[in-house]
Amino acid sequence: MTHISANNAKEEINGAIAKVVSNGEDVLIYGEHGAVAALIPIEEYELLRRMEEEEEKLDVAEAERRLSDPTQTPVPYETVRKELGLD
């Protein structure tokens, strides 16, 4: 994995893109407080997007299942906040 500084990104971006395209290498761009961006092969990006979409579908299906279950009693938002120590 290659690391480049955000300050030098303009000068190094062509080389970084070449590494991603030719070697499938991930490139991290660092700022003052750590990693701020990543260049990744498009295949990895597309896989991440598909995984995100599938996770969203599973979340919606689970929410619908729970909302349609007549044995489940809704818990008020205020109660949940209190139980989690957020109030």
Can you name the CATH fold of 1-40? Answer: YefM-like fold (3.40.1620)
pLDDT digits over 70-85, tens only? 888 888 999 999 999 9
Residue 58: enclosing H or E segment and its boundaries?
A: helix 42-68
Do strands 2-5 and 27-31 pair parallel, antiparallel, or not at all (unpaired)? parallel
Angstrom distance (rounded) from CA 57 to CA 37: 27
- Would you say residue 8 has pLDDT above 80? no
pTM of the model: 0.65
pLDDT of residue 3: 81
